[in-house]
Chain A
Amino acid sequence: MSALEVTFVEEDGTVRTVAADAGQTLMEAGKGNGVVGILADCGGSCACATCHVYVDADWLEAVGAPDDVEAEMLDMVSDVRRDTSRLACQIRLTDRLNGLRVAVAPYA
């Protein structure tokens, strides 16, 4: 297991850089470190949009686009959806994503 670092910008602007392991999801890294706004109600099963993040422009290509199951979930929060929206539970961390930066999307 390799130690990675990922950065969340919480809704109020607080920047939180947390340690993560390759193989974890971005949601697990966020929730496990108490990042505000990463709620993950459904436990990471791509079914609730409570771990919604905006991927930093520089990282978009490396992270990739949502598949259609995830895109459907994101459509349910179209009021806050952007082109850079992803569900953190669907982003599997790898060495390539070391340094990843995302902003936490507003929920309720």
Chain B
Amino acid sequence: MVATTEAAGCPFTGKGGPILETGSLIDPEISARPKAYYDAMRADDPIHLDPKLGMYLVSRFDDIQSIQRDPITFSVYEGYNAQYAKGYFEEFKQILERDGGGYFPDAIMSDPPYHTRIRKLMDNAFSAHRVRELEPRISEIVVDVLEGMADKGQVDVVKAFSVPVTIRVICEQLGIAQYNADNIQRWSLAVTAQIGRMQNREQMIENAKGLCELQHFLIAQIRDRQDHPKEDMISDLVHARTDDQAEPTLTFKEVVSLVRALMIAGNETTATAMTNMFYILATQPKVAEILKRSADDDRLLSRFVEELLRIEPPVRGLSRMTTKEVEVGGKLLPKGAHLLLMYASANDQEDVFPCPREFDMERSNLGRHVAFGGGPHRCIGLSLARMEIRVAAREVIRRLDHFKLDIPVEEIRYLPTVATHSIEKLPVSFSRRV
């Protein structure tokens, strides 16, 4: 029998096999190169209990969609808390209470109706139209960083481009003028490691220290805006008013958690997407060639960004927990089942995205990918992220040419975490475009 993938002229992606019985998402090799594992799950066991991780991995597009659309049965609050600093939570919390100004649970990682109140306060700040107004300033930042590296010929794009650009953009939006970018990157990784499930106790203590520093830094900013409001997102949150008569303002704890979430989500994941962009440019010359002809074509650039997010979603797995016994994808899950929604797997599903490993900017259903999640928890910063990546693509392609990876693909290292798929370091060489 001919596999449908071959019949359709796509490279065969592989199916099933013993990897499910022997492997786990927290095995470093599978974590770094998970495609075969995802393929096997979708084919043989779409809601797969990973015993090492102690979670059900949800791998198929439709199941992920229906879970996201039912935030009451599938609780983000329960799922996130079960994931957070797992194995060390009490100790982690004590460190933050003792040395970090307090423990501030993530207000946005909650369930309706509480979540709806928080979310409404933040939606307007991130509308596609408001973000459009930021484009000129984002372009200036991108161009400034690019001009600093264009003549170097070879850089680690994570350090030279992705991280500095995204940190500058989010700090400006938050209204933070003075900062140390290395610290912010270190703090960001310390925060995301808490849902990564791959830190040991020593690393947890180190990360908790980083989080304490981050909180002191942000609390000083928040205190300043309480007395001296400015035109920035921290001021917006500090002085936000809801239509809820009983609780018209955010509490201090909520403000700290939200500013922290904006800071972290606003740089780590978008930086990863920018690094992935260089990876595509350096490994797929055909895509680079199309982009070179299209730097002024907004439609094509938008499609490039969306396909980049589909094919390499920076966030690959976020959690939920069932609040009752429920059947999903033919499997009966007990109450309290801890789930990980595998966005990267859904984006790779052949009957939704034909030839999923092909970078195809002309897909007619590009907007259906789940790189931003979906349902009421869909990424709130998606318009800002898209804008940053689109501007980055446009300015990079205008200025640079002849992209080449300076390490073999199989030597690329990824951060140890189940939550994201983030390249640690990507040495790329290039020339200035003439």
What 1/0 mask marks residues of chain B from 334 to 364 whose CB sits below 8 Å from any chain A CB? 0000000000000000000000000000001
Q: Which residue of B127, B364, B375, B380 is within 8 Å of A78 (Cβ)?
A: B364
Interface residues in B367-386 by Cβ distance below 8 A to A read 367-368, 372, 374-376, 378, 380, 382-383, 386
Assuming the contacts A43-B119, A75-B303, asked whether A108 and B368 have C-beta atoms less than 8 A apart, the reply is: yes
By beta carbon, the residue of chain A nearest B384 is A47
Check if A72 is an interface residue, CB within 8 A of chain B: yes
Chain A, interface SS category: loop
State in angstroms the CA–CA spacing of A50 and B69 once bound together: 12
B137 to chain A, nearest CB (A): 17
Interchain CB contact under 8 A, A42 and B382:
yes
- Which A residues lie within 8 Å of B383 (CB)? 45-47
Known: A69-B129, A72-B298, A76-B306. A47 touches B382 (CB 8 A): yes
Over the window 28-58 of chain A, the binary record of Cβ atoms lying under 8 Å from chain B Cβ atoms (1 yes, 0 no) is 0000000000010111111111100000000
Complex interface: chain A residues within 8 A of B299 (CB): 72, 75
- Alpha-carbon gap, A43 to B65, bound state (A): 17
A73 at interface (Cβ–Cβ under 8 A)? yes
Q: How far is the CB of A80 from chain B (nearest CB, A)?
A: 8
Contact (Cβ within 8 A) A41 B375: yes
Q: Which residues of B contact A61 (CB under 8 A)?
A: none
Return B108 CB to nearest CB of chain A, in Å.
12
A79: Cβ under 8 A from any B Cβ: yes
Considering the complex, give the chain A residue whose CB is closest to the CB of B299.
A75
Residue pair A47, B368 in contact (C-beta under 8 Å): no
A14 to B: closest C-beta gap in Å: 19
Instruction: Indicate if B230 sits at the interface (CB-CB under 8 A).
Output: no
The answer to whether B298 touches A48, judged by C-beta atoms less than 8 angstroms apart, is no
How many positions in chain A have a CB within 8 Å of any CB in the partner chain? 24
Near B by CB (< 8 A), chain A positions 63-80 give 68-70, 72-73, 75-80
Report if A47-B365 is in contact (Cβ < 8 Å); known contacts: A42-B382, A75-B302, A108-B65. Answer: no
Given A39-B69, A72-B299, A72-B302; A47-B364 close (CB under 8 Å):
no
Cβ A45 vs Cβ B128 within 8 A: yes
Indicate whether B88 reaches chain A with its CB closer than 8 angstroms: no
Given the contacts A41-B374, A45-B383, A47-B382, A69 and B367 also touching, CB distance less than 8 Å: no
Q: Which of A42, A70, A80 gathers the greatest number of chain B CB atoms within 10 Å?
A: A42
Contacts of A68 in B (CB 8 A): 298
Residues of A within 8 A of B303 (CB): 75-76
Q: Closest CB-CB distance, A37 to chain B, in whole Å?
A: 11
Docked-complex contact B367 and A76, CB < 8 angstroms: yes
Name the one of B129, B364, B366, B382 contacting A48, with C-beta atoms under 8 angstroms: B382
Contact of B127 among A45, A77, A107 (CB under 8 A): A45
- Inter-chain CA distance A42–B367, complex, in Å, is 13
- Bound form: Cα–Cα A64–B364 in Å: 24
Residues of B close to A108: CB separation below 8 A = 61-62, 65, 368
A69 touches B128 (CB 8 A): yes
From A78, which residue of chain B is reached at the shortest CB distance? B364
CB distance from B21 to the nearest CB of A (A): 31
CB neighbors of A among B112-127 (8 A): 119-120, 123-124, 126-127
Docked Cα-Cα span, A43 to B374, in Å, equals 11
B367, closest chain A residue (CB): A76
Find out whether the CB atom of B306 lies under 8 angstroms from the CB atom of A43: no
Is B378 touching A48 in the complex (CB atoms < 8 A)?
yes
**Of A45, A70, A72, the contact of B124 (CB 8 Å cutoff):** A45
- Once the chains bind, are A41 and B378 in contact (CB under 8 Å)? yes
Q: A41: which B residues are within 8 A, CB to CB?
A: 374-376, 378
Find A77's partner among B62, B298, B368, B386 (CB 8 Å cutoff). B368
B324 contacts chain A at the CB level, 8 A cutoff: no
**Chain B residues near A50 (CB, 8 Å)?**
374
11 A–B contacts from the bound complex (CB under 8 Å): A41-B376, A42-B123, A45-B128, A47-B126, A50-B374, A69-B129, A75-B302, A78-B364, A79-B364, A79-B365, A108-B62
Give the 6 A-B CB pairs with smallest separation, nearest first.
A76-B367, A79-B364, A45-B127, A43-B123, A46-B128, A41-B378
